[in-house]
Structure 1
Amino acid sequence: MVYNYFPDFMLTIYFYRSQNDGFEQGKSVGRNQGKTEGNRLGWEKGAAIGSEIGFYGGYARSLLEEMQDAKPRVVKTLERIIKAAEDFPLSDPLHPELQSKLEELRTKFKQVCSQLGIKQEAPSSSENKGISF
């Protein structure tokens, strides 16, 4: 009777040990993949935000240079966009007001487009389907 119990006991220990080893290996692989994916996503999002801020600042500067007889209200809005783009906390991704500053910059851009009667439509992905390189 003891003989029949012993092999089942050993199989149970082996099963739990294998299960625990598999769990730890899976956790390690998942952690490494998560870090890699998070790093890649952070670079992509950071580059997109930096590009957007650079666009707003450059666009406002070029409009300000080209518009000789602009209304004072438009000039003031363009200057605010330039100042907001220059003061944006690019080197501090954990800045508590990062999102609100980005929304403020977007709002000012929409405001100047409205003041000048410029449409600010982004091309849809369906328009670009036929393009290939």
Structure 2
Amino acid sequence: MSTLTFANGALSSPVTLFADTFGFASSTSSTTFLTATGWFHGEGYQEGYAEGSHVGVVEGRRYGSLHGAKIGSEIGCYLGFALTWQCLLQKCMDEKNSKKIRALDSLIRMIQKFPYEDPTYDKLQEDLEKIRGKFKQVCSMLNIQSDFRIGTERSSLTF
């Protein structure tokens, strides 16, 4: 290992210099080196863990906001669709339309009971699938082909 010469003429190895600077007391250079390596490893781990945790929280928040907005857009579209058709069908009340209105009422109730404010709700995906299924059933009863897509630009419901 090379040595450093200071202005006062003292000779010192880099490991000894490090040990003196950071307060590591050791009788041998190799022990000091191992202690320094362990210290750097521990400090690096702590810094990396803290930074990773912060980045994970930010990324998780962004991911949650994005997917929450997509679900909200989808559910909102279903509700608007159901309320519009409910209004249209109530003008012409007969046996055929009463079944359609009952299915629309059921879809509206499902949407109104959906837990918007609780992302930890354990049956969130299950309830969302039920709403999607009811929406498809209503579209079938109304003889409408629906295609709900969520893109990067906007969401659309095509007929």
Normalised TM-score (structure 2): 0.69
1:48-93 per-position Cα deviation (integer Å, ceiling 9, x unaligned): 1111111111100111112344522211111111111111111222
What are the Cα deviations for residues 67-123 of structure 1, in whole angstroms up to 9, with x where unaligned? 344522211111111111111111222223222221111000000111122112346
In the alignment, structure 1 residue 82 sits paired with structure 2 residue 108:
yes
- Higher percent of residues as strand: 2
What's the secondary structure of 1:31's corresponding residue? helix
Match of 1:63 among 80, 85, 104: 85
Following TM superposition, the consecutive aligned residue runs of length 4 or more in structure 1 with deviations greater than 3 angstroms are 122-125
Structure with bigger RCO (C-alpha 8 Å, 6+ apart)? 1
SS of the residue corresponding to residue 48 of structure 1 reads helix
1:100 to 107, 118, 126: 126
Give CA deviations for 1:32-53 in whole Å, capped at 9, x if unaligned: 0000111111111111111111
TM-score, length basis structure 1: 0.81
- Counterpart position of 1:38: 60
Aligned length: 122
- State the identity %: 32
The yes-or-no answer on 1:52 pairing with 2:74 is yes
More helix by share: 1
RMSD: 2.1
Residue in structure 2 matching 1:19, options 18, 41, 52: 41
Q: Is the 8 A contact 2:70 2:150 kept in 1?
A: no
Give unpaired runs (5+ residues) of structure 2: 1-26, 152-159
